[in-house]
Amino acid sequence: MDFVEGEILAFDKPYHWTSFDVVGKTRWLLCHHLHTKKLKVGHTGTLDPLATGVVVVCTGKKTKLISQLQYDTKEYVATLQLGATTPSFDLEKEIDYTYPTAHINRALVDATIPSFLGEQWQVPPAFSACKVDGKRAYELARKGEEVELKPKLLVIDEIEVLAFDETNMQLTLRVVCSKGTYIRALARDIGQKLNSGAHLIALRRTRVGNIHVEECMNFEQFEQLLNNETQSI
């Protein structure tokens, strides 16, 4: 593999890692492998720290493709906890409000979810990488500052109910969507549409473009790949 001319690598991001952690680890391993201090490495789309799954990384000259690859369609499997919200819309923050759920059943869920198909205007979460006056929104939100973000137009190509646990009020969805979709914000909006509240308790990105999570490497496998390359020289 020629990492300077450029390679496109796909990793299964571990839980609690940021996308920048994935880039940093990749760069460190490659610089060590190539005996160089500098190498261009970048990812093609941020994935939340509390999510796992596909993160696509470009190296060398193929970093020029990043702006193009960012538009690849993404697929997620998300589990929502209905009846409660958090300020971050996921498990990063503690529950701030609880809501009635006695009226929610499978029939209501099945009637509500299809309304999220197609073009949607979505307000990004305050705890996000969106920029406000040159700063990341999450930096301001974590300081307790008010963050006002404008709605963005996105497209949800597919949304499917995979499971609904009516006892625990947990809803699992498969979502295929465009660049810029925040699944945490989708959870918030679904909760509101159900006349309740919701937040994410699990999220896995299962596909980016034609790259499926089953094809992705973890970092042990990547290190082994680099070791094999070194031994074959």
Residue 48 among the catalytic residues:
yes
Q: Which of 48, 96, 165, 189 is catalytic?
A: 48
Q: At residue 222, what are phi and psi to the nearest 5 degrees?
A: -65, -45
Distance CA 114, CA 156 (A): 10
Q: Which residues are the active-site residues?
A: 48
